[in-house]
Amino acid sequence: MRIGIAADELGTATHVLRHWEDEGVVVPDRTPAGHRDYTDEHLRRLRIVQACRRVGLSLQEIRLVLHRDEAGRDEVITGHLRQIRRRRQELDAIETFLSHVLTCEHDLISRCGSCSAYAEDSRTTDPATVAHGA
């Protein structure tokens, strides 16, 4: 299929597909006339690229992820997993804090030990140390 149809299938712009091709992420076949020719396999790869972009991988990292035997692939994936786990811990702490604030009986949350502890602890870089007030 031509680039316009592939872009429509993916819900993206043709210039994005051209850029991904220029970066060597997904390179379509060419027709005898020189037009890009995307196969079903190319579309599957492009959907994987979109998923990888949504989780924050760069195009350079995606090139590694697409091919199982690429050097550095595992390090890229485990690095992103660490970031996701760290962010999940941060979000859990935020959720606990906000849930507590909803039910906090202090007239000012700055007078609440749990709220104040969260505010103080959230300044640290290690989300695992964030106090979960109850």
Residue 115 is predicted with a pLDDT of: 84
Query: Considering only CA atoms, which of 55, 127, 123 is closest in space to residue 92?
Result: 127
* Residue 100 scores a pLDDT above 60: yes
Lookup: tokens for 100: 């507590």
pLDDT at 78 over 90: yes
* pLDDT for res 5: 97
- Burial class of residue 122, CB neighbours in 10 A (0-12, 13-18, 19+): middle
pTM above threshold 0.75: no
Residue 30's closest CA among 73, 1, 68?
1
pLDDT digits (tens, 9 = 90+) for 119-128: 887 765 444 4
Rounded average pLDDT over 100-124: 83
pLDDT of 47 higher than 80: yes
The overall average pLDDT reported for the chain is 89
* pLDDT exceeds cutoff 80 at 88: yes
**pLDDT reported for residue 39:** 97
